[in-house]
Amino acid sequence: MTDSTDSSIDPAAIERSRRERIVIDASARGPIIHWLASAIFWLLLGTLLALGASVKLHDPEFLANNPWLTFGRVRPAHLNTMVYGWASGACVGVGLWIMSRLCRAPLRHGWSLHIAAVFWNIGNAVGTWGILSGGSLSMEWLEYPAGAAPWLLAAFAVATWQGVDMIRRRPPGHIYVSQWYLFASLFWFPMLYATAQVLLVWKPVAAPAQPPINWWYAHNVLGLWFTPVCLAAAYYLIPKVIGKPIHSYFLSMIGFWSLAFFYAWNGMHHLIGGPYPAWLISVSVAASVMMLVPVITVAVNHHFTMIGNFGALRWSPTLRFVVFAAMSYTVVSVQGSLTAVRAVNRITHFTHYTVAHAHLGMYAFVTMMLFGAIYYMMPRLLDREWPSAALIRVHFWCSAVGVLFYWGALSYGGLEQGLNLQNPDMPFMDIIARTLPYLRMRTWAGVLMTVGHLAFATSFLLMLFGKVRVVSTPTLFIRPTAKTNPA
Amino acid sequence: MNKASILFIGFLITLATSWIGLVLLPASHYNTQAAQLPTAFFTNQEIIARGQQVYQANGCIYCHSQQVGTRHFRSDQERGWGNRRTVSTDYLRDTVALLGTMRTGPDLANIGIRNPSPQWHYLHLYDPQLTSPGSIMPPLRFLFEPAKENPSADAFTLPDGRRIEPTDDARALVAYLLSLKRSQGELPEAFEPPPK
């Protein structure tokens, strides 16, 4: 993006750059859409499992007689299909596409990514089937039985190799901040996953050592895999849509290295109050609070980039999702830093508050960012426009209102639950009864999000297989005017 | 920054430091501790190991924790969930540490002490409403079958008159639950100063 000032002067350079992008997008089309379409399949399955699990918590007789559909299997099946099938699959598709754009390196050996996508889907199918049929390992975020991991690791090795191949072919000079995040995350995820599989599944360590490793893994999957890819997308898409470079290179650098250093130490805050020595927990509490550094840095950087362009939120679908996600990142991270403080965690741990927090991270931040990125990518990959602004509008409002309602209801209910748990005079069954209204609200929020996902999947399918509409203008919410788009 | 190799070394170092602190140190510490114990310490009965698998397969962990906190931090001990906090050595005998992170249901660290009746557990697993009205625990009816012609000793009659008996999975699960007595015995590292 550094040379955009030069190319804006020279029409020939603009044309060269446009042709370059056409070549890159054509090379990425098949394999990247394979990954994205697979991810959307898992998103829909994960949504169905989520709704089932949510209803079961306030209506335990719902689908209770089939062991495959008991709550304790549907819930981990939901989490894993979302984490690996949807979010990770979409991160590979979005991340590699942004990488090839930024490295100005067309994707080579596309067939390898097609095979990798097939492997990724087999891994997820083996894992989901395994959980539902009674093979769950009951280690959080790692419930897929042992048979799934080799498929997933093999598929990911291809993605990492592809990313490195692009980095090696980049033109000489500056590496953009999105590339740092993507390059790092393509190594971090397989290292995390392989460590967890070896030490927890293949050759398990002594039992007391398992929860620390489990949470080192699970928290870092969010911190060092989903977060970097989604921040890379924000750093790429915000300047692209509003046509203005990122505010500060220096802040980007502080944000990146402080994230890498502090996030990696966060996981033990999931064990606060647990049977571990104080130093192990305290180091994570300290690191969690230090997360304020990268988070505020990134927030300031994005905010100053956006300033003067907030009007673009009125017309750009991509920007609306991306900015919603970026703001959620700030909120969820600050909330996370506060929740890691012992005095707060004492109340919120073991309650639905944590579940609400997790969804603010994985949905309002990660998933919304991936939606935004996909809205930007597909027209460029396919050289055609989204079929309907109304469908995108339905998607945005259902997802945004859904997840905020979800978060609000469960956070409040969870806080109340936590305070009640601390009161030994309150009978346990009374505590449960008081959570019921919030659990029902969560189901309704889930219904809303489901509608959003159906609108999204419909758009995506129409985009792929619908009649091609010949239009010369992009699908926007409204037509940008001088007032909404000063750039 | 324009050197990919320097970036790469940076990625490795940041992850490696946390790997040493949060993975290598706990793993080597507890592996060493486990290695010092005689093999006989680990010989769990087969039925309990199978029960733990049933517990894992059906995701009990998503609502039930197995850890007791200190008196000054949590109300666990006042609720009768254990008479001392649990410490890491209380989990040394396990193959998988099922500490849990949710308390949608009560803690189970000492369920074998708190409720030693297998009949109660069978009834509760079959239909939680029979023993705990208002519970939101899913009924695990699929772990039971109609009583055979020669019913087993643990067959029981439901309030509606039907006679059923547990499957081997249900027997194993209950054996596992009854084996959970984590706060048993005094340990120096579990000592808490008495409340002021």
Kindly state whether residues B145 and B114 are assigned to the same domain.
Answer: yes
Nearest to B134 among A65, A351, A432 (CB): A432
**Would you call B101 and A349 a contact, using CB atoms and an 8 Å cutoff?**
yes
Amino acid identity at A38: S
Q: Any chain A CB within 8 A of the CB of B146? A: no
Encoded tokens for A328: 């959620």
Nearest in space to A280 (alpha carbons), one of A332, A215, A217: A215
Cα separation of A271 and A281, whole Å?
Answer: 7
Kindly state whether residues B123 and B169 are assigned to the same domain.
Answer: yes
Kindly state whether residues B30 and B78 are assigned to the same domain.
Answer: no
**Which residue of chain A comes nearest to B107, CA vs CA?**
A350
**Which residue of chain B comes nearest to A343, CA vs CA?**
B73
Kindly state whether residues B142 and B185 are assigned to the same domain.
Answer: yes
Q: What pLDDT shows up at residue B44?
A: 74
**Would you call B23 and A216 a contact, using CB atoms and an 8 Å cutoff?**
yes
**Would you call B140 and A70 a contact, using CB atoms and an 8 Å cutoff?**
yes
pLDDT band at B196 (very low <50, low <70, confident <90, very high): low
Over 90: is that where the pLDDT of B194 sits? no
**Would you call B92 and A208 a contact, using CB atoms and an 8 Å cutoff?**
yes
Listed as own residue / partner, the contacts of A418-423 with beta carbons closer than 8 Å and 24 or more positions apart are: A418/A346, A418/A347, A418/A348, A418/A349, A418/A350, A418/A351, A418/A353, A419/A347, A421/A350, A421/A351, A421/B74, A421/B75, A421/B103, A422/A346, A422/A347, A422/B74, A422/B75, A423/B75
Q: Any chain A CB within 8 A of the CB of B87? A: yes
Indicate whether B71 belongs to any domain.
yes
Indicate whether B19 belongs to any domain.
yes
Q: Any chain A CB within 8 A of the CB of B131? A: no
Q: How far is B60 from chain A (nearest CA, A)?
A: 6
Kindly state whether residues B181 and B86 are assigned to the same domain.
Answer: yes
**Would you call B12 and A429 a contact, using CB atoms and an 8 Å cutoff?**
no
- Degrees, nearest 5: CA angle B155-B159-B164: 25
Q: Any chain A CB within 8 A of the CB of B24? A: no
Indicate whether B33 belongs to any domain.
yes
**Which residue of chain B comes nearest to A61, CA vs CA?**
B138
Cα separation of A357 and A288, whole Å?
Answer: 14
Q: Tell me the H-state helices in A207-272.
A: 210-221, 227-242, 249-263
Kindly state whether residues B176 and B111 are assigned to the same domain.
Answer: yes
Q: Any chain A CB within 8 A of the CB of B6? A: no
> For residue A275, what are the CA distances in angstroms to A194, A212, A345, B99, B190?
26, 11, 15, 9, 9
Chain A CB contacts of B96 below 8 Å:
137-139, 204, 207, 210
Q: What pLDDT shows up at residue A439?
A: 98
**Would you call A72 and B58 a contact, using CB atoms and an 8 Å cutoff?**
yes
Q: What is the CB neighbour count within 10 angstroms for residue A208?
A: 25
Q: What pLDDT shows up at residue A469?
A: 65
Kindly state whether residues B143 and B77 are assigned to the same domain.
Answer: yes
Q: How many Cα atoms within 13 Å fall on the side-chain side of residue A79?
A: 22
According to DSSP, residue B80 is labeled T
> How are beta strands B144-146 and B156-157 bridged, if at all?
unpaired
Q: What pLDDT shows up at residue A2?
A: 43
Kindly state whether residues B20 and B69 are assigned to the same domain.
Answer: no
Indicate whether B196 belongs to any domain.
no
Report all structural domains of chain A as residue ranges with CATH numbers, in order of start.
Answer: 17-173 (1.20.120)
B8 lies in which domain range? Answer: 1-37
Using an 8 Å Cβ cutoff, are A305 and A244 in contact?
A: yes
Indicate whether B131 belongs to any domain.
yes
Kindly state whether residues B7 and B81 are assigned to the same domain.
Answer: no
Please tell me whether the overall predicted TM-score, pTM, comes out greater than 0.90 for this model: yes
**Would you call A432 and B138 a contact, using CB atoms and an 8 Å cutoff?**
no
Q: How far is B164 from chain A (nearest CA, A)?
A: 15
Choosing among B22, B36, B54, B73, which should be mutated to test the A contact, i.e. which has the most A CBs within 10 A? Answer: B22
Give the pLDDT of chain A (487 residues) as one tens digit per residue: 444 444 456 888 889 999 999 999 999 999 999 999 999 999 999 999 999 999 999 999 999 999 999 999 999 999 999 999 999 999 999 999 999 999 999 999 999 999 999 999 999 999 999 999 999 999 999 999 999 999 999 999 999 999 999 999 999 988 999 999 999 999 999 999 999 999 999 999 999 999 999 999 999 999 999 999 999 999 999 999 999 999 998 999 999 999 999 999 999 999 999 999 999 999 999 999 999 999 999 999 999 999 999 999 999 999 999 999 999 999 999 999 999 999 999 999 999 999 999 999 999 999 999 999 999 999 999 999 999 999 999 999 999 999 999 999 999 999 999 999 999 999 999 999 999 999 999 999 999 999 999 999 999 999 999 877 666 678 888 877 655 554 4
Nearest to A207 among B1, B70, B94 (CB): B94
Q: Any chain A CB within 8 A of the CB of B78? A: yes
Nearest in space to B99 (alpha carbons), one of A131, A268, A353: A268
Kindly state whether residues B62 and B143 are assigned to the same domain.
Answer: yes
Q: What is the CB neighbour count within 10 angstroms for residue A241?
A: 24
Over residues B60-69, mean pLDDT: 98
Count how many domains chain B has: 2
User: Is the ipTM of this structure higher than 0.90?
Assistant: yes
CATH code of B104's domain: 1.10.760.10
Indicate whether B54 belongs to any domain.
yes
Between chain A and chain B, how many beta carbons pairs sit less than 8 Å apart? 223
pLDDT, chain B, mean:
94
Burial (Cβ within 10 Å: 0-12, 13-18, ≥19) of residue A6 = exposed
**Would you call A58 and B136 a contact, using CB atoms and an 8 Å cutoff?**
yes
Q: Over the stretch B142-186, which tens digit does the pLDDT of each residue have?
A: 999 999 988 899 999 999 999 999 999 999 999 999 999 999 888
Kindly state whether residues B11 and B89 are assigned to the same domain.
Answer: no
Q: Any chain A CB within 8 A of the CB of B61? A: yes
**Would you call A216 and B18 a contact, using CB atoms and an 8 Å cutoff?**
yes
Kindly state whether residues B174 and B152 are assigned to the same domain.
Answer: yes
Indicate whether B195 belongs to any domain.
no
Q: Any chain A CB within 8 A of the CB of B41? A: no
Nearest to B1 among A175, A355, A428 (CB): A175
**Which residue of chain B comes nearest to A350, CA vs CA?**
B102
Indicate whether B124 belongs to any domain.
yes
